[in-house]
Amino acid sequence: MAGIDVSWRRGILMLEGGERMECLRSITHIVMDKTGTLAKGMHSVTDLSIIGGWKGKEQALATLICAAEEHGMSAHLLVLAIFRRLLPTSGDMWSRYQDVGGARKLLETAGRGVKCEVDPGDGLWRAVIVGNLAWMEEK
């Protein structure tokens, strides 16, 4: 577990647990065929555009997205970047969500996105979909 923690702090995700870490000591070569999966450094969201009915409701939108993305932060670097960018915008709504809100019916599809229902703390559940364009159009 300590090795997994050290790896995570250095940006290496070990999703399969300690058994996989033990197997690493016998590896002599690694071949990667998907460069999009390889990442180094800290990703960040540089631009943000809010359109449609969400203009003027940025705090509520940020809270819904952060609530949906919160569960996937440790598994995906881009999710962490989105969360870090939107959390300050959420402000006090995030505190209310953490106190009395919740997320349910979480559906994560690798490489596509997340779909869930979020109650930001007002007792009303909202469908939230965050992901790539194809995923969002499909849902």
For the segment 33-47, what is each residue's pLDDT rounded down to a tens digit? 655 556 666 788 889
One domain, residues 129 and 70: yes
**Token pair 């999703």 is at which residue?**
15
Q: Per the domain annotation, does 40 fall within a domain?
A: no
Choice among 10-19, 51-60, 73-82 with the minimum mean pLDDT: 10-19
Res 111: pLDDT? 81
User: By residue range, what is the domain housing residue 62?
Assistant: 52-138
Counted domains in the chain: 2
Alpha helix (H) ranges present in 1-138? Answer: 2-9, 18-23, 58-69, 77-90, 92-100, 133-138
Do 84 and 22 have their domain in common? Answer: no
> What is the model's pLDDT at position 48?
87
Output the CA torsion sign for 24, 28, 31, 36.
positive
pLDDT at 67 over 90: yes
